Structure formats: C-alpha cells, structure tokens
C-alpha cells in the first residue's frame, strides 16, 4: 500500500452508520408516504383523473410530492444510514494557494505559445 509511495485512496476514517431512532422513524414514515403516493399516481392516471382540469393539477401535485419525498428519503439515507468514510485524496490547487508569499503578488506570466497552452489544458499528461 504505502510501498508504492502514493497514499491516495487510503481510508483515513471509517465510522459505522449512526442509525439514530429518530432517523429510522422519519425514513419509515417518508417511505410509507412515498409508496402510497406512487400507488395513487398510477391508479389515478389509469382511471382518467387527468381528464378534468382540477384532476390534472391534482395528478401533477402528486407527482411533485413523490419526487420531493424521494429527495428527503435519499438525504436521510445518506446522512444516517451510510458509514462515514474519509479517503485520502489529491489536494488540488486552490485560489488561496496562489499568493502565499508577498513577492508572488504579481503572479506568473503565461509563457510559451497559445497552442501549447491549449494542449496542456486538454491533455492532462502533456509534458511539463
């Protein structure tokens, strides 16, 4: 693992899922609502609820509820039912890395010709 000299991908922290009681109750309720509304939407569409103006809006509302509810279910699932994993990643350059020293304030000039710059931007392994 470390003999390769690269530590990227190493697991730095692995904490099991929290699975708090409140989250469990919430996700059960949301799931029940989701199931009911999916069934209701299907039933309504087959029975022609959408043929009247109000019914059509009602069906649209049900569809909206289905997807919003699903979003909340997934958010809860991510937060409470997946383990907390931290992985070693490559630190990308950020803007705050640019002017660490006072004499760097003028930045660096973009040397070379433009075509080289394009190649470098498109192809990550281009020679430095």
Residue 80 contacts other proteins per CB under 8 A? yes
Shortest distance, position 47 Cβ to other proteins, whole Å:
9
Beta strands in 16-113 (DSSP E): 84-87
Q: Are 119 and 126 in contact (CB under 8 A)?
A: yes
Q: Are 10 and 1 in contact (CB under 8 A)?
A: yes
Binder of other proteins out of 68, 85, 98, 118 (CB under 8 A): 85
Instruction: Compute the distance between CA of residue 75 and CA of residue 73 in angstroms, rounded to an integer.
Output: 5
Binder of other proteins out of 55, 65, 73, 120 (CB under 8 A): 73
Q: Are 14 and 87 in contact (CB under 8 A)?
A: no
Contact residues: other proteins, CB under 8 A: 1-3, 5, 7, 10-17, 19, 24, 27-28, 31, 34-35, 38-39, 41-42, 45-46, 48, 50, 63, 70, 73-74, 76-77, 80-83, 85-86, 88, 101-103
């Amino acid at each position: 693992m470390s003999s390769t000299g690269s530590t990227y991908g190493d697991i730095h922290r692995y904490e099991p899922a929290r699975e708090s009681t409140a989250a469990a109750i919430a996700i059960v309720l949301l799931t029940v609502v989701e199931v009911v509304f999916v069934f209701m939407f299907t039933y309504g569409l087959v029975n022609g609820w959408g043929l009247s103006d109000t019914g059509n809006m009602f069906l649209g509302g049900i569809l909206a509820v289905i997807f919003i509810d699903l979003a909340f279910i997934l958010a809860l699932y991510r937060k409470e039912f997946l383990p907390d994993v931290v992985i070693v990643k490559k630190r990308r350059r950020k803007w705050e890395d640019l002017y660490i020293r006072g004499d760097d304030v003028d930045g660096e000039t973009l040397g070379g010709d433009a075509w080289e710059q394009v190649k470098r931007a498109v192809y990550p392994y281009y020679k430095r």
